[in-house]
Structure 1
Amino acid sequence: MSIKDIFNKIKEEVKVVQGEETKDKVYSNKNTYPSEQTAIHEFERSKQKLFDVNEWSQMSGINSTFHLYDKRGRRITAKMPEIGFFMKIILPATTIDNWVRITGIRVEDNLAEFTVHPSEQPKELGEGDAEIEHFFIKEASSTFRVTREGNTLHGYEIGKNEGINNQGKDAGERALLNTLIAEGGWAGVQALQWDKLTKYLVHLEETNE
């Protein structure tokens, strides 16, 4: 990498920290089976694991806590989410809530996914303000996806427009906290978390239960 490339990278990172730029990131893992018939069977299990969000908390090692909530803010144990449902994500070794709302679900023969965006708390749990309870801006998204190609399963976490929520009313009183999480704790944990999850989705890793 040239000096110019390094300088441009530093400028880009500064803009990200200042909330002026965003990042896109993709994490993935795959698992190949001896036959397509086996892969078809295991893909059904991948779909079940993808949509059973509460079970993600049971993955071993360094792991976030994931809770699913309905549109009214009631914690639920549903195995299949719906558009408008909420997820609460608590990062490892913290008690800080980060909320996302499910904005899209797609299920096809060889593909299943759902997309979330950072959001406020469900109204029944919040105080009626518009503060985004997440360290990323509301325009950011994460898509959790599993696919089957022949006898190979693929698991993905696709992050888009990942900008730090530290500007304006959306950040509320969390501007500094969001910056510290995004550039500190989450920056260090993100790769581990989504690598672990995508392995879990294609059965390279299982839960403790």
Structure 2
Amino acid sequence: MKIKQIPGVPIQKSGGFHDTESRKDYDTPSVASEKFDILKERFFSINQWKSFSGAVFADFTLYNSNGNPIKQLPEVGDFIRIDIPGPGETEAKGYDWVEIINISHQQADESESYIMTCRPSQIPGITNNSHIAHFYSQASTSTFMIQREGSLIKAGIYGRNEKPNFNARFIDKIRNLLIALGGMCGFSKIQWKSLTDGLLDFT
């Protein structure tokens, strides 16, 4: 599979990757613009992502840098706690964590896009532990994007440089390896495809 080169998405250097997209085409740009406004609200409602992807998939909760859950628009420096099905990191009490490292917006006459990039992180609010609490290493990124071009709207998630996180306890190394290998073989793409499809489900 050829890696898509997308402005704003980190360059793939090594490890696994995925490009997961869903799209819908409408009769007119005005209808697409109306749907994009709804999509934008959903995109930034991270605490509600599970309701779009389905009950059997991961749960997402937005946190600030102090380690407190928040209900507001995400900002660079915020964190997302991910509760994936199955056993999680013992040190992180069963959760995986990512930090939001970039949010950008571009707009032209008939196009508009939002991009949010995250990378595996330590647990926020704990200053005496810099351990990466995620099954992927800190070199990995996940970039979430929504886009409108004329009458087309799209939701995409792009994984880059995905490698297992071996900077962990022995039992967590095994867990991280198994989940990372599963993700690199395409199992995480099922989760992400469910989310992108759900974000565009306006029925």
Q: Matches of 1:22 and 1:119 in 2, distance apart?
A: 18
- 2:154 aligns with 154
Matched, 1:76 2:70: yes
Q: Per-residue displacement from partner, 1:11-41 (whole Å, max 9, x unpaired)? A: xxxxxxxxxx511211001011111100011
- 1:62 aligns with 56
Shift of 1:171: 2.9
Aligned partner of residue 181 in structure 1, secondary structure: helix
Structure-to-structure mapping, 1:1-209, within 5 angstroms? 22-59=15-52, 60-78=54-72, 80-95=73-88, 96-109=94-107, 110-122=112-124, 124=125, 126=126, 128-166=128-166, 170-173=167-170, 174-184=172-182, 187=185, 189-201=187-199, 203-204=200-201
Q: Per-residue displacement from partner, 1:42-79 (whole Å, max 9, x unpaired)? A: 1111111111100002232421010100111100111x
Q: Residue 61 of structure 2 aligns to which amino acid in structure 1?
A: H
In the alignment, structure 1 segments of 5+ residues that lack a partner are 1-20
Contact 1:121–1:133 (Cα < 8 Å) also in 2: yes
The percentage of counterpart residues that share the same residue type is 29
In the alignment, structure 2 segments of 5+ residues that lack a partner are 1-13, 89-93
Q: Residue 28 of structure 1 aligns to which amino acid in structure 2?
A: E
Q: Per-residue displacement from partner, 1:66-122 (whole Å, max 9, x unpaired)? A: 0100111100111x1010000010112445200000000012220011000000101
Shift of 1:181: 1.8
Q: What is the RMSD computed on CA atoms of the aligned residues?
A: 2.0
Q: Per-residue displacement from partner, 1:133-163 (whole Å, max 9, x unpaired)? A: 0000101000000001110101100111001
Q: Matches of 2:63 and 2:50 in 1, distance apart?
A: 14
Aligned residues: 179
Contact 2:156–2:196 (Cα < 8 Å) also in 1: yes
Q: Matches of 1:185 and 1:75 in 2, distance apart?
A: 27
TM-score calculated relative to the size of structure 2: 0.81
Shift of 1:184: 4.0
